[in-house]
Structure 1
Amino acid sequence: MDTQTKSGKMVMFNQVGGPEVLQLTNINVPAPASNEVRILVKAIGLNRVDLSYRQGVYSKKPNFPSKIGFEAAGIVESTGSDVQHLSPGDEVSVIGAFSNDDYGTYGNLILLPAYAVQRHPKRLSFQQAAGLWVSYLAAYGLLMDVGGLKKGQYVAINAASSSTGLAIIQTVKKIGGIPIAITTSSHKKKALLDAGASHVIISSEQDITAELLSITGNGVELVLDAVGGSQFEKLIAATAITGQLIVYGALSREYSSWSTIEVLSKKLTIRGFDMTELLMVKDKVKAAVAFIEEGVTSGSLTPTISKTFPLAKVSEAHRFMEENSQVGKVILEID
């Protein structure tokens, strides 16, 4: 057990706003408490929730000065006295089951609760491992825990080019379902097909409802929507009788409206999902981690990296994410 405080760099922010509020700050990183781990970070995964949190539109408001970030990968530098499952030198990645009031991952030397640190499969690079858990745990929760996806069922995925969208496509294929990717940009079509999508719909050029009904015949059994807004009604119209529509994001700031009669007559289930309902149940997390590790080891689940930035260019990385041009995960690398 290391008892020394060490110097490090951490991205912090003192007010909500645009990417420019993020500041790389020199900090002192204390020795890990009994149930903590100190990690030498090699790569950091960026998520949409990071942008929302920085902008002040996430459900949890930041307390300033605020840390940021829920994903990273690196090497265990030291452990607290009660930590049994990890040792210095272990290559690990982070499961984001904590509050940014207490912890953050945007740094080169970070403290984290030991329960949120996991050895990752050797097959992954640090960059891939930094983009593993948020996306694939969300995919597992949506498809397995909540959606109950069965082999042969259709799944429509809105905002499919995100890291979570790609993780969902791969997970649907692993389960034996049929993934239909929905994206706004035609230039992303090939990448989505290469990622495993059976069909791709370009929402800016095609009628979502007509295309989904043409592909499925009787509608989609499971619709996963991270957008909302005006597209929501179109997705409901293409959902099969007794189908499910699960909302896991709100990229559109528009209000959604839909036909109540259609929901009633089709006996649809519409519900929201966030990661807490998976992360707060230990047995669910254990099952999800085992499923993901098996998929990574077998090669059926592999994080896709869109672009990497050095830690010092964190504001540029956030701006890139706000352009919505990426296909896959945006990563910060540590020199």
Structure 2
Amino acid sequence: MARAVRFHQHGGPEVLRIETIDVAPPAKGEVQIRVRALGLNRAEALLRRGTYIETAKFPSGLGLEAAGLVAAIGEDVAGIMPGDAVSIVPPLSMVRWPAYAEIATFPAEFVVKHPPELGFETAAAVWMQYLTAYGALVDIAGLGRGDVVAITAASSSVGLAAIQIANRMGAVPVALTRTSAKRRALLDAGADHVIVSEEEDIRSRLEAIAGANGVRTVFDAVGGPAFEPLTAAMSPGGMLIEYGGLSPEPTPFPLFNVLTKSLVLRGYLVHEIIRDTVRLARAKAFILDGLSDGALKPVIARTFRFEDIVEAHRFLESNTQFGKIVVTI
């Protein structure tokens, strides 16, 4: 028996309940961990509201990231032992393998012995943000030294991860944020430039920063009307990678910019990295190296207790956080 967060209907944070449930032993190829910390993601709020790419089956669990101690291993699991400190690469289904629980079970291939210098709270904040940013900027875009990359929703955990990865690659990260409230924090977090989209002209600022070469890569979580100025400032052959849809407004197709500059507009889900064993292995090596050498440092916005999961989800949806929200057990 263990406590787990579940919901029996779609809705706001208030539908989340902490319930005591039976816990089956790990099956073949699975690892069961005693969870010490959880990393929260917007995908979990979408599942809770019924707008995620996956469909909840009531009563449904949720959660994609966790860190803790191995409690038990199933058959055919090698290299992991009870008592190991581990963190979790987000599984392809949070309905099948939900993380919000005192005891949670995951496929062994997604269980990582995290660097010993990481505490559980930091380890729970690693994989979703860095895998998402790495997959887009390094694996797909091939970001290189001197390349200018525009990063929207830059104060999110993925946005901050993208800034750090861009710096590690020798690129020039330009952070976009709605208001000036987070400008100083973004500069302190490693952004070379900050553009306040509600106060400045996106195109002219990007063109001034990038010069004649233009913006080679746009890493966008927002969509909406900003597509026009973002693509207008891009270099010929540049790539816009879209991984979200935060804007409530329609997203226009910037036909003239795409045609005249031969731009690539590419949709992206981190699942394409997670489900590919070769690409995932490269990503894990890059991230673990970055954590070890200090180039990658998860930023934690706020930590909540497990018992305060409803309040944690309210904060998640407030869009006021800077970095990752973590829940401890």
When normalised by structure 2's length, the TM-score is 0.97
Provide the residue aligned with 1:4 in structure 2.
none
Q: Write the distance in 2 (CA, Å) between the matches of 1:298 and 1:51.
A: 33
Q: Which runs of 5+ in 1 are unaligned?
A: 1-6
Identical pairs, percent: 46
How far did residue 34 of structure 1 move? 2.4
How far did residue 141 of structure 1 move? 0.4
Letter in 2 for 1:95: V
- Equivalent residue in structure 2 for 1:236, among 231, 245, 256: 231
Letter in 1 for 2:250: Y
How far did residue 98 of structure 1 move? 3.0
Q: Write the distance in 1 (CA, Å) between the matches of 2:171 and 2:26.
A: 44
Please tell me whether residue 90 in structure 1 is matched to residue 84 in structure 2: yes
Is the 1:237–1:262 contact (alpha carbons within 8 Å) kept by the matching residues of 2? yes
Is the 1:136–1:167 contact (alpha carbons within 8 Å) kept by the matching residues of 2? yes
Structure 2 matches for 1:245-324, cutoff 5 A?
245-324=240-319
Deviations 1:115-166 (A, max 9, x none): 1111111121111110100110111100111111111100000000000000
How far did residue 285 of structure 1 move? 0.4
When normalised by structure 1's length, the TM-score is 0.96
Please tell me whether residue 202 in structure 1 is matched to residue 201 in structure 2: no
Q: Write the distance in 1 (CA, Å) between the matches of 2:136 and 2:208.
A: 24
Q: Write the distance in 2 (CA, Å) between the matches of 1:261 and 1:109.
A: 53
Letter in 2 for 1:298: D
Deviations 1:242-283 (A, max 9, x none): 111110111112111143122100111111000121111101
Query: RMSD across aligned C-alpha pairs, in angstroms?
Result: 1.0
Q: Which runs of 5+ in 2 are unaligned?
A: none
Provide the residue aligned with 2:129 in structure 1.
135
Q: Write the distance in 1 (CA, Å) between the matches of 2:99 and 2:91.
A: 12
How far did residue 61 of structure 1 move? 1.7
Once superposed, which parts of structure 1, at least 4 consecutive aligned residues long, lie more than 4 Å away?
none
Provide the residue aligned with 1:185 in structure 2.
179
Q: Write the distance in 2 (CA, Å) between the matches of 1:178 and 1:121.
A: 28
Please tell me whether residue 102 in structure 1 is matched to residue 59 in structure 2: no
- Equivalent residue in structure 2 for 1:157, among 147, 151, 161: 151
Q: Write the distance in 1 (CA, Å) between the matches of 2:94 and 2:138.
A: 28
Q: Write the distance in 1 (CA, Å) between the matches of 2:267 and 2:148.
A: 19
Q: Write the distance in 1 (CA, Å) between the matches of 2:171 and 2:254.
A: 28
How far did residue 204 of structure 1 move? 1.4
How many residue pairs align between the two structures? 328
How far did residue 81 of structure 1 move? 2.6
Is the 1:223–1:245 contact (alpha carbons within 8 Å) kept by the matching residues of 2? yes
Provide the residue aligned with 2:40 in structure 1.
46
